[in-house]
Structure 1
């Protein structure tokens, strides 16, 4: 049934029908007893024309009601019905009209009061109050909910004598299903049949939450119109005599039902279902008898609520064992990336899911069958920006615009939980489609017809013959308990993530302290080594000057050369140590002039006259100007050095921008670096290529790496031996344009 027809159903003003059922009489009066409206059958019951009482006092009816002329009992009943600011009438009050007794039932409607007069005489000859005690005992004789429901329909039918009694349960989408039934043997069973939500539309369900019983005594009698001085229709929501929607009357006639009676089943403040009673001849039961049936509904409501809580508690206990197993696996997980693998199998088993995903800091960690990373990234972003609730759960992906990217996939059910309100990190569970067949009581369509003014109205279906529908696109719904447990597991994963993050922070702090100590030690040792190395060099020079023997001269020369080499190494280590101790003063560094200065310096001392050193685009970076200069000088100088032996060495420097970084690529066509050497190239004293062919200390790139780390930047290398190398420097953009 399309949305336009549902709107048509929902717009029917069933609370202001402008009429009552024909078995009673209605008076609408204010708190002073002035009659504003009444049913048109007042004269037929009391002998007084409604034109004579409208606008007058309700005491005008006293004689017909067997009361003294001055008795203002109806106004007194209204006054007595107010308790602590709340209107709570003690219904019913009994009067006699002619030879027949009537129950007087009070209710409120805006600023006025409704006075329903209903016959005391009933088609139910035995007083059901004599049966209700034993019936309730029979009803509650079993612990299983389904058995209790089956007992309830049997005992309700025993009490009120209707030919068919059903428990009609509402599903989440508003449609109903007959889940228990007791009937006369010759009637066809309706057990297990489904009825569309439009059969009992939303506004009707709201009235069932307000009035716990609803009697339609005779579908064939014409309703009695309400007349009055006030043209506005009176709200009859709380009137027991309220007339029935013409659509519903026709619906019952199409079902061959002459009388119906319903008792609401309210669980935790919501309409869980109805005790729906049908009779195939007119049947009237009075107010007290309906109240007895209402007691059955209230006891059944409490019983369902209790059994539901017991079922949830049992389900919760079964989940707790799985939660403990997941917690144990999380405690043994060493890093965040392993969390999903550690508990994935348990998650799928516990939640009857096909996939479990953890989207954390822009990375997807999945177990089982999960969507693509791009789909989950987009879903996480949408949920974080639009879904404020702690948990998101659906059993029909195609019905939610948030999940448009999952349409057409095998996933029909999704449950998602955000790790924290500030982050877009999410846990996801996925369920596959579970196709099913629903047995409808007739094809669930309404027929649209048009009145003599060409206005559309709903005509109920004529056929209630069983109609089968294959339902696709749905997964098994996520229960309330499952959602609670998922949140609990989210909290455990949050705790595990926080624990790992704290461990990493502590480790990083220790590493920083160790590096600081190492820097201090290297600086001290390097500085202290300078003095003895200077002395060694001086003594070697002295030996060379004093000795005339060639062997001694040669050995002294070697001592001097080794001392000089060691002095250079000490100097480079000292420079490396200074990098760790130097304060990083970040500024906006214009790279063009910096790089052209380096180019000019290197071209002056070039080793190959054919060197081509290209400076291309030069976007600015943010950093310490001195340290940034040291980085680029080292890397470009290395590129020139390791390419000078080719015929035409070419070195290029090019900067680009991406979403979050300034990226520089320094490329040469030199000797290249093999895969094994690439693993250690940024280590202290690590050198590449033929050590006799290229000078160097092996400290330059280690220094570069350290400077980059202190800037929150990265340096990597891509290289092929014999072809050349590209060093890639990535600087955070921050406030750099």
Structure 2
């Protein structure tokens, strides 16, 4: 090997090869001849090999129209070929044409170089006696339907060696860092000299890779061929002719020396393209000079295209398999999310299945500013530093590296734990990540010679002299992880898509939920407004109609209170079942309990129970209230022996028939005028439900019959027996319960508090103290000797629980008042006490007070 001579970077560096003008060497190889024609078909350049190959002197051709020196048929074919040239790098091939009468026939290549058309000629292979495709086709068949890259590359190398006749063929794959690796090798001697070895990126300079992507086949028939000059050596623009697409272009002296150092006398490189990019090369070598005719080279290009197709099919199969795996992962994740599992927990649950698709040693999930780490991962502080570094870049695509210390500023502790990562951004703001880590591994890379190519000054001046040794050179690589494959990155990209879809669905669901919530809120507000106005109108009607039929102020108050209480009881019954249909018998019991008292045992209810709708429920409550009130005041329940038979039945159409018959009461007299109560009895059902109502005042008692239409009825087959009487506490005389007592009322509504004050004073209270909030109530308890307290549960933005606890601790009895439909939660929270439902009246409040201990 040449002894390395220290050279300063200013004198020569590894980029010298990249700057060599290999497309402007001014020469062609001696196996072919070149002509360059202007657009008017005048010859402007010719190679010195023209006499030997074509049989024309250069001096006789340059400056002449080409049709004056070649056959008419050949001229016409060249004209047609030039007209067919399309894209900038297009080449047209013509096989077996006679340029000069009586001379060897030629294979011709035509392409455009700037303003000139380049014509390259090679003699037809006179020894060929078979069709080239018949020789190539069996080898094409051998590379079909492979499932493994190594097998595909091995068979392709063997096939290409048989077609081309070279001593050895290698399949050379470019790596992400532009170095190359030999993935298959077929040699005549059966040996594997370079299989598995790596070649530095500088072995194939940048401009050489660019030419390989433009011109797919490059043959060097003899490294010792001096070539033939192109005359004149400069174009009209003053530069050498651009030979980028030339098939006979001469060889760079540096590359010639490189091949000689390898012991190669002839070579051919065939480009392997994938998605418009250079995937690799078929590198063909011979120990002696070796020429492959143009027709065979054309067939070899087709062979390379088919190899690229099979490579694509193989990679597509791998991609399809990865997509199938990720679809299963997606299905599993969606199943977890459907069970209300959080996104983080869902990812953790599928991590084992994810590891089958993307092998990793550690997992980090950073979502909504929360971090989950598992496996071989960095510390929390190191990970957050990574997040900051990733956020500083473009975190809109997958980030993959097998060398974290080089890609990110990593601490020594981190580098010992993990060396590779694939980071998957799963949202935009905030930037959340799923990160898969791989541990560092020691790997041995084998190179064809020292990859740190020694710089020596040789016969080519200051240009880089190729290395002389290609012996296997092993390098141990530390601090890196196993590399991420294309399939790993594809799977990670799919996972990111899945995550973004999930986020979009979640966002859409939240948006839809918010929209529905807003619509529901608007609907509830409208419904509340409607109901409040209806209630106000109802109260107004009740007051007006009751006022017109009342005999005194006391009678007016009692009648109005009774009707309001009837509506309240009906409302409580509905809200208890969440405004669902409720049993008719329960409504009957509530109304009779309120007005019949200890006479309820003289009321017999028979017939099937049915469920009535909320609309019918409220109407029937008022009707039953009026019937019960009249029975207690004037009818069968106004004496000691009268009774009521209330019979329920269903007519053939499914309507409910309710028959009310009073017996053994005082003599019946029809009302002399129609009051509001009578109007409710006779008009409510027909008007609001399109039902029926009749009432008669017979000598034996009042008989009324009501029909509720079927659409308001749901039959309850489990009922049907007569309902038992509900025990009722005996009434307590007013003015006795709280005689001379000081009483506390805690109520935030002044009107309700004043009404309660009046009730309590009617019960004998001598002093009623009103408090609107907890603070005031607790202060009043400290300064007064209360005998009893009435507490509203809800005091606006607070509840009266502290007051109830203070009263309970002092042994002061109290009653709770609430407007909430259900009281189970209240009873479970507050100290034991009676609970009355708002609006409470002169019947409910005394009964509740009677249940607590005697006032002091």
Asked whether the equivalents of residues 439 and 466 of structure 1 are also in contact (C-alpha less than 8 Å), the reply is: yes
Checking the alignment, whether the CA contact within 8 Å between 1:135 and 1:155 is kept in structure 2 is yes
**d(CA) in 2 for partners of 1:124 and 1:88?**
24
Matched, 1:199 2:203: yes
Residue 287 of structure 2, aligned match among 264, 268, 280: 280
Which residue is 2:120 aligned to?
116
User: Structure 1 445/269 Cα, relative in aligned 2: closer, same or farther at 3 Å?
Assistant: same
> Please, which runs of 5 or more residues in structure 1 have no aligned partner?
546-556, 578-682, 693-737
**Deviation larger for 388-397 or 254-263:** 388-397
Distance 1:261 1:430 in 2: 42
Displacement of 1:558 in angstroms is 8.3
Structure 2 CA distance for aligned equivalents of residues 468 and 687 of structure 1 = 87
Correspondence for 1:159 among 157, 163, 185: 163
Question: How far does residue 427 in structure 1 lie from its aligned partner after superposition?
Answer: 2.5
User: Residues 224 and 402 of structure 1: is their aligned pair in 2 closer, same or farther, counting only changes over 3 Å?
Assistant: farther
Residues 251 and 461 in structure 1, CA contact (< 8 A), matched pair in contact too: yes
**CA deviation string 1:171-224 (max 9, x = no partner):** 222222222222122755322222122222333223222222211000011133
**C-alpha distance in 1, partners of 2:782/2:187?**
115
Q: After superposing the two structures, state which structure 1 stretch, 223-232 or 71-80, moved more.
A: 71-80
The match for 1:15 is 23
Q: Residue 440 of structure 1: CA displacement?
A: 1.2
Q: Deviations over 1:305-347 (max 9, x none)?
A: 1122122222332343333223322333444564444444444
Compared CA separation, residues 276 and 83, structure 1 to 2 (3 A): closer
Distance 2:402 2:201 in 1: 18
1:471 equivalent to 2:492? Answer no
- Structure 2 match to 1:241: 248
Q: CA deviation at 1:260?
A: 0.6
Question: Given the alignment, which residue of 130, 137, 159 partners 1:133?
Answer: 137
- 1:24 corresponds in structure 2 to 32
Q: TM-score, normalised by structure 2?
A: 0.57
1:89 pairs with 2:96: no
Q: 2:462 aligns with which of 456, 477, 481?
A: 456
Deviates more, 1:262-271 or 1:373-382: 373-382
Report the Cα offset of residue 291 of structure 1: 1.1
**Cα pair 1:333 1:342 within 8 Å, conserved:** no
**Mapping 1:187-586, distance limit 5 Å:** 189-226=193-230, 227-230=233-236, 231-335=238-342, 338-384=345-391, 386-387=393-394, 389-401=396-408, 408=415, 410-450=417-457, 456-472=462-478, 473-480=480-487, 481-491=490-500, 493-494=502-503, 498=507, 526-527=749-750, 530-531=753-754, 534=757, 543=766, 561=784, 573-574=795-796, 576=798
Q: Which 5+ residue runs of structure 2 have no aligned equivalent?
A: 1-8, 533-744, 769-779, 810-856
**How many residues are matched?**
565
Deviation at 1:279, TM superposition (A): 0.7
Offset at residue 259 of structure 1 (A): 0.3
1:365, 1:512 → 2: CA distance?
Answer: 38
Alpha-carbon spacing, 1:276–1:123, altered in 2? closer, same or farther (3 Å)? farther
Give the Cα separation in 2 of the matches to 1:486 and 1:495: 14
TM-superposed CA distance for 1:283, in Å, is 0.8
1:420-460 deviation line (CA, Å, top 9, x unaligned): 3444223322222233212211112333234799x632111
Distance 1:334 1:444, change over 3 A: closer
User: 1:493 & 1:478 partners in 2: Cα distance?
Assistant: 26
The Cα shift of 1:290 comes to: 0.6
TM-score by length of 1: 0.65
Contact 1:31 1:75 in 2 (8 A): no
Deviation at 1:257, TM superposition (A): 0.5
1:107 alignment counterpart:
111
